[in-house]
Structure 1
Amino acid sequence: MPLSKAEISQLIKSKAQEHGFTFCGISKAGFLENEASRLEQWLKIGYHGEMSYMERNFDKRLDPTLLVEGSKTVVSLIYNYFPPAEVFQNPSAFKVSKYAWGKDYHEVIKAKMQFLWDELQTLIGHFEGRMFVDSAPVLEKAWAQKSGLGWIGKNANLIVPKKGSFFFISELIIDIEAEPDGPIKDFCGTCTRCIEACPTEAITPYQVDGSKCISYLTIEIKENLPAHLKLDFDDWIFGCDVCQDVCPWNRHAKSHNEPDFLPQTNFLDMSKSDWEELSEDLFKEMFRYSAIKRTKLKGIKRSLAYINKKNEQ
């Protein structure tokens, strides 16, 4: 006897938890009508900066049934990456976003999703679809919000009630039906701490000017930083956690227990001079399994040069 939609939903959620995912939410695949005008306006204003890929596949980005033929369900998965208290950066050194402290999350999460996928194929029966970890035109935060995992806060991050926002988001987009969940309310209230704390004033309520965001400036730009730039990087050289660190909901964050997300090398102990003296060979050795390799040593050096020049002014 085939499983009901409710049984399929519960099975997916229970197995996701067994494979280490913190939470799992289910949505019916379809057009994200509420996000369409917001995305169009965000692109029109130019908040995507040099991220031209955000302009491509506009329709697929809003409708997963165009991205994955025959899809009926979006399974949103989140995985905690908040570090244990005993793991911290040298407070006097340059800063790296917490999501990049361990192994590259794309590879770690996708491997876990594959195990989940294979088990569900056995328990539910054969189904078709695709897995995504921040690697395709999918509005992952919108789907996570739609499935009730949290709400998108004023800093444009997904915030999970009483858990915070230090989570990786991934999706299974599949051609079987499961009972969908519903969204929850927004609990940001009148708080504006993320807006006030942003070093580059990139945040307005529920929207981020990507072209001013430190994460964008230290990771996404491939060539030289804009000549007119006069922003304060606040010593961040790869990513930025400020808007998450100041969020009151992250006071509830619990540390992960994933060995792959612990630092694989001692780079958190590096001083500013250690970073400045980093060679190409050492960079490749230290970050070969890390998301930091994405920006290459060239990108790190570019951020260092900008920060030092700014400090001299």
Structure 2
Amino acid sequence: MNIQELQQEVIEYSKTIGIDKIGFTSPAPFTELKNRLLRQQELQYQSGFEEPDIEKRVRPDLIFDKPQSIIAIAVAYPSKMKVRVVSKKGERRGIFCRASWGQDYHHILRKKLKMLEEYIASKVPEAKFKSMVDTGELVDRAVAERAGIGWSGKNCSIITPEFGSYVYLGEMITNLPFEPDSPIEDQCGTCTKCLDACPTGALVQGGQLNSQRCIAFLTQTKGFLPEEFREKIGNRLYGCDSCQTACPMNKGKDFHFHEETEPDSEIAKPLLKPILHINNRDFKEKFGPVSGSWRGKKPIQRNAVIALAHYKDESAVPDLIKVMQEDPRPVLRGTAAWSLAKIGGPEAKMALDHALGLEKDEEVLAEIKTGLSRISQ
């Protein structure tokens, strides 16, 4: 087997199956990353969605027997909708982040990695693989950075010269000794636009993120959202693109290479009021194919309630009253009370007064009382 020839064949094949960029790196431990992860742990900046064992995140040899190299891939996704829908009075809309516009990227990349595995195995039957996308042990961005896919920007995203940071990442550990590529030089320079654009100050400094303050993380939580973040979320239903849209490297970057990454605008930017009352079956049918649905409908519904307050949408008051009075989940009832107080008006105040005498949950009661104190001012 000529490994250089095989590597070139793999590169050429990857282009035919919709992999927009491919790179190779060694399976050596990610020593510098380990220090950063330990610091994140010490500061309690993790999201809690990560692999908890830091050693597994930085040592490929702990998750794969005798690894020889890692293949990193990137697939570009659009930053603009071909079919635009407009949020207007009485028909306000929420927004999913761009990474969740098309079909679930986990499925898209896993399919491409599987095809890559099968291709390599057809050439080298004894080849072994372990592929992962996002939910695996390794840190996708660290692998991609070392494999020359792009550099790690101050916004903690991989930025490629070709596609900006609008790329999905995945990787494959293998027992084949492919030749490693060289990392790309950091091109952020003195720019701090992403840090300046972060609504909650989650980007502590270039390359350091406090996930607990990141809107992308907060939109995925299921409990009551701390009040300091409610105003910041705006109309976001899932994820946040502020640090990406502010990045000069993303200016003019919009690629529509893959049908499966194209957004359905009614899903990517849906009407808010119908979300409040959607049942499990309809939610799964409408939003199930996108990655933003992975935490279920509760966070999306809570965020929709907050978004209606952001718009001060008076037409939503009856819907919010129904949620406050009838929803079995305290988080939805309490958030609806907060939203009604933000929108204000006699109907909202009357509903809050009425709910005060009926509600039993202490957290919801606290939201109602706070709302009444504000609406009376």
Query: Which whole-Å CA distance do the structure 1 matches of 2:85 and 2:295 have between them?
Result: 20
Query: Which whole-Å CA distance do the structure 1 matches of 2:176 and 2:39 have between them?
Result: 33
- 1:23 counterpart = 2:24: no
- Residues 254-309 of structure 1: CA distance to partner in whole angstroms, max 9, x if unpaired? 31221112235732453333333434332122022221221211111222334424
Q: The residue matched to 1:232 in structure 2 has which SS?
A: helix
Query: Which whole-Å CA distance do the structure 2 matches of 1:233 and 1:227 have between them?
Result: 10
Label 1:88 to 1:150 Cα distance change in 2 as closer, same or farther (>3 A): farther
The match for 2:57 is: 61
Query: Which whole-Å CA distance do the structure 2 matches of 1:91 and 1:75 have between them?
Result: 42
Q: After superposition, where does 1:260-271 map in structure 2 within 5 Å?
A: 260-263=260-263, 266-268=266-268, 270-271=270-271
Structure 2: which amino acid aligns with 1:78? A
Query: Which whole-Å CA distance do the structure 2 matches of 1:54 and 1:114 have between them?
Result: 23
Query: Which whole-Å CA distance do the structure 2 matches of 1:36 and 1:77 have between them?
Result: 22
Which shifted more, 26-35 or 295-304? 295-304
Verify the 8 A CA contact 2:100 2:291 in the aligned structure 1.
yes
- 1:146 counterpart = 2:142: no
The match for 1:126 is: 126
Aligned-pair identity in percent equals 26
Q: The residue matched to 2:232 in structure 1 has which SS?
A: coil
Query: Which whole-Å CA distance do the structure 1 matches of 2:133 and 2:29 have between them?
Result: 20
Q: After superposition, where does 1:277-296 map in structure 2 within 5 Å?
A: 277-296=277-296
Verify the 8 A CA contact 1:200 1:231 in the aligned structure 2.
no
Structure 2: which amino acid aligns with 1:48? Q
The match for 2:315 is: none
Q: The residue matched to 1:17 in structure 2 has which SS?
A: helix
The match for 1:103 is: 103
Verify the 8 A CA contact 2:129 2:175 in the aligned structure 1.
yes
TM-score (norm: length of structure 2): 0.76
Q: The residue matched to 1:260 in structure 2 has which SS?
A: helix
Verify the 8 A CA contact 2:212 2:218 in the aligned structure 1.
yes
Verify the 8 A CA contact 2:68 2:174 in the aligned structure 1.
yes
Shift of 1:228: 6.5
Q: After superposition, where does 1:86-235 map in structure 2 within 5 Å?
A: 86-88=82-84, 90-91=86-87, 93-203=93-203, 204-219=205-220, 221-226=221-226, 229=229, 232-235=232-235
Shift of 1:18: 1.6
Query: Which whole-Å CA distance do the structure 2 matches of 1:306 and 1:15 have between them?
Result: 46
Query: Which whole-Å CA distance do the structure 2 matches of 1:194 and 1:89 have between them?
Result: 27
- Residues 70-105 of structure 1: CA distance to partner in whole angstroms, max 9, x if unpaired? 111110000011255514453552111111112111
Q: After superposition, where does 1:233-312 map in structure 2 within 5 Å?
A: 233-263=233-263, 266-268=266-268, 270-307=270-307, 308=309, 309=338, 312=343
The match for 2:333 is: none
Label 1:88 to 1:206 Cα distance change in 2 as closer, same or farther (>3 A): farther
- 1:34 counterpart = 2:35: no
Query: Which whole-Å CA distance do the structure 1 matches of 2:61 and 2:85 have between them?
Result: 42
Verify the 8 A CA contact 1:8 1:179 in the aligned structure 2.
no
Q: The residue matched to 1:295 in structure 2 has which SS?
A: coil
- Residues 233-259 of structure 1: CA distance to partner in whole angstroms, max 9, x if unpaired? 122110111111111111242312211
- 1:71 counterpart = 2:72: no
Label 1:249 to 1:8 Cα distance change in 2 as closer, same or farther (>3 A): same
Label 1:306 to 1:272 Cα distance change in 2 as closer, same or farther (>3 A): closer
Q: Structure 2: 5+ residue runs without aligned partners? A: 310-337, 344-373
Q: Structure 1: 5+ residue runs without aligned partners? A: none
The match for 2:42 is: 44
Structure 2: which amino acid aligns with 1:26? F
Structure whose CA Rg is larger: 2
